[in-house]
Chain A
Amino acid sequence: MIRHPLLFGCALALPLTLCAQQASVQVQQPDLQGSRQLESLTATSVVRDYLQSWKAFRAALDRNAPRLLDQAFVGTARTKLSDTIAEQNKLGIHTHYVDRAHRLQIVFYSPDGLSIQLVDHVTYDEQVMQGNTVLAMQPIHARCLVVLTPSQTSWQVRIFQATAE
C-alpha cells in the first residue's frame, strides 16, 4: 500500500535511472542439443559479459554516445545500435532503457567454439526523452536472441534482436 504512491512520485519527478534497481537475473540450464560441450566457466563468462553489454547499451542509447558500445558490441549489433543512436541524435531524442528482469538460457554453442547463442526473456522499461521531457514510458516483455563471439578477453554481442514474447 505504501509503495504505490512512492513509485508513482518517483516516475513523475525523477529520471528513470534514479528509480532503477538491479535487474533480477535467472539463468536456466543450457539447452544445446548436442552441438558442443559447454564448460561452466564459459557459461558464466558469457552470462556475465552479456549482462555487462546491457550496461553499455543503456548508457550508449541514453547519452547518444556510440563509442560506449565498443567494449561490448561488434558486427551487426554494433552497426545497428550506432545507427539508431545517430537517428536519435537527428530527432533530438534519447532513450532510457531500464532492464528489470532477465531469464537467460544458452541454446547453442557452435561446434567450432566460435559463437554462442542465448535467449533472454527480458522485462525492461523504455523511456523516450526529448531533453528532460518524457515523450513515452513503456514497459516491455520481449524475447531477445543474442549471439556472442569471443574476443581476446571477453564475449562480445554480435547479434542482438528482440521478438515479442
Chain B
Amino acid sequence: MSLVRCLLLAGSALVASPFLLAQSLSMNLPARVAAGSAFSVPTSGSGPGTLTIVGPGQALRRNVQLGSAVALAAGVLYNAGEYVAILSDGSDSQIGLFEVTAAQQPSTLSFLAEPSRLPVDLQNGISGTVYLFDVYHNLIVSPMPVSFDLSASSGPSQTRTVTTRYGVGWTRMNSAPKEGSAHFVAHAGDVSSTRVIDEVPGDPCNLSMTATPDGVKAKLQTAPVRDCSGNPVPDGTVVTFTASYNGMQSTVDVPLKKDIAQVEMPVPHGATISVASGVVAGNQIRWSGQ
C-alpha cells in the first residue's frame, strides 16, 4: 500500500467516525442579545454538560445536553452588561463572551425637576433631567427623543424636545409670568412623568405708601403690593416702615394683609418716613402732620 493510499484511508476513517467528531466541545454564542429576550446557544459535543453565565449583572447555570441548542427563555437574562459564558462537560470547557443590551422600549422615566417652587418670570429657572430605563431598569443608552412640556395655569405652554445622550436628557425652562401651579411633564415613547412646580410672585415692585394724620399719630398705608409682573405679593410678606428724626429712628414691621400693609405710629413733625420690603425700597415722605 502506498503512503498516499494510507493517508487517504486514515482520513476517511476520521471523517466517517461520528464519535471522534462529537467529542469537540463548542458553542455558538450570539454577540449580543436584548435584555429579557429569548435566545438559544447551539452547542457541539455529546453527553450532559452545563452552561454557566456570569457577569456583574447576573449569574445563572443550566444543565444542557451537549450537541443540542440551549434555550434561554424570555425574562431569564435581563440585566444589561458583559457576560462570560462557560460551557462544560465536566472535563473540558469552552469560554465565550457576549453582551446583554437594554431593551429599546422605555418603561420608566426617572424625572428630576428642580426647584419645586420659584418666583415667576425667571429665565431658565426650572431644570428637568430624565434618565430613561427599560422594563428591567437598564439604562437605555441609544439616543432617544424626550420631550419636556411646561404648562402653567395661564399663558402658553413651553415645549422642548431633546435627544438623550448615554441615557440622559435634560432641559431648562422659564417660569411663567403669572403665579400658579405649573405641570412639568417629560415624555419618552409611551411613558410620561409629571412634576408640579409652584410659581410664586417675585419681589415687590414699585412699593409706595401714603401717610395721613390720625390724632397724634400718622396712619401709614401701602398701595396694593405687586411684583413686577403684576402678581399680588403673598400675604404675610413683611413690610418695614421707618421714621427718622434728629438721628433717631423708629421702625415697625407689618405683614401684608389682603395685598396691603398699614400701621399707625407716632411720628414727630419734620421726620422722614420710608417704606421697604426685603431689599426693595419704596417712596419717602417728609411728615408735616398733614
Which A residues lie at the B interface, using CB under 8 A? 33, 35, 57, 61, 76, 80-81, 83-84, 87-88, 91, 93, 95, 97, 107-108, 110-112, 114-115, 117, 119, 126, 128, 135-138, 140, 142, 145, 147, 159-164
CA distance A128 to B60 in the complex (A): 12
Question: Within the complex, which residue of B32, B59, B165 is in contact with A164, where a contact is CB–CB below 8 Å?
Answer: B32
**Taking CB as reference atom, which chain B residue is nearest A33?**
B165
CA distance A108 to B170 in the complex (A): 10
Cβ–Cβ contact B86 & A91, under 8 A: no
21 contacts between A and B (CB under 8 A): A61-B56, A80-B57, A80-B137, A87-B60, A95-B59, A108-B168, A110-B112, A110-B127, A112-B127, A126-B84, A128-B84, A136-B54, A136-B86, A136-B93, A137-B95, A138-B84, A147-B131, A162-B55, A162-B99, A163-B82, A164-B99
* Count of CB-CB pairs between chains A and B under 8 Å: 117
Tell yes or no: B272 within 8 A of A by CB: no
Tell yes or no: B194 within 8 A of A by CB: no
Cβ–Cβ contact B57 & A84, under 8 A: yes
Number of interface residues of B (CB under 8 A): 39
Pairs A-B, 9 closest by C-beta atoms = A111-B127, A112-B114, A87-B59, A164-B99, A162-B81, A110-B129, A136-B95, A136-B86, A162-B82
CA distance A137 to B59 in the complex (A): 15
Cβ–Cβ contact A117 & B82, under 8 A: no
Given A84-B55, A84-B58, 11 more A-B residue pairs with CB atoms under 8 Å apart are A33-B165, A35-B170, A80-B79, A114-B114, A126-B54, A126-B55, A135-B86, A135-B93, A145-B167, A160-B56, A164-B31
CA distance A161 to B166 in the complex (A): 11
